[in-house]
Amino acid sequence: MMQDYIFEIQLKVRDYECDIQGVVNNAVYQSYLEHARHEYLQSKNISFKALTEKNILLMVSRIEMDFKQSLTSGDVFTVKLRLERQGLKMVFFQDIFRLGDGALCLKGKVEAIAKVEGKLSRGEIFDTLNL
């Protein structure tokens, strides 16, 4: 199935991100996904600092990661994402591909919610952000 990715970023595995087995530690993949989401939002001129100053808090409520292949030190890879609004949540579907062979290394699903002035938003804030 062809994915309709709307953003991608290229990154490279650093030595210190690998565990004793020589592969990227599982927790590091979450950082890769977060970095890609932040870069995507910046590309849309969305500033977390400015939103926070307006008492709008965007936050992760759930993360699922399916590990398919391991990345190792020096691997260059892309994190690709697409979005889907599901009720009060914005869902980021994020996939990581190794560039050398095109292998799918991780499938991720990140659900985000928003609080506006301390109250859970029904998701309308996502519409106003033009994601």
Phi, psi of 29 (to 5 degrees): -60, -35
SS3 at position 37? helix
Of the candidates 19, 66, 101, 127, the residue annotated as catalytic is: 19
Spatial neighbors of 14 by CB under 8 A, at least 6 apart, are 73
Q: Examine the residue annotation and report whether 19 is marked as an active-site residue of this protein.
A: yes
DSSP class of 42: H
Contact 59, 113 (CB under 8 A): yes
Spatial neighbors of 52 by CB under 8 A, at least 6 apart, are none
Query: Which positions are catalytic?
Result: 19
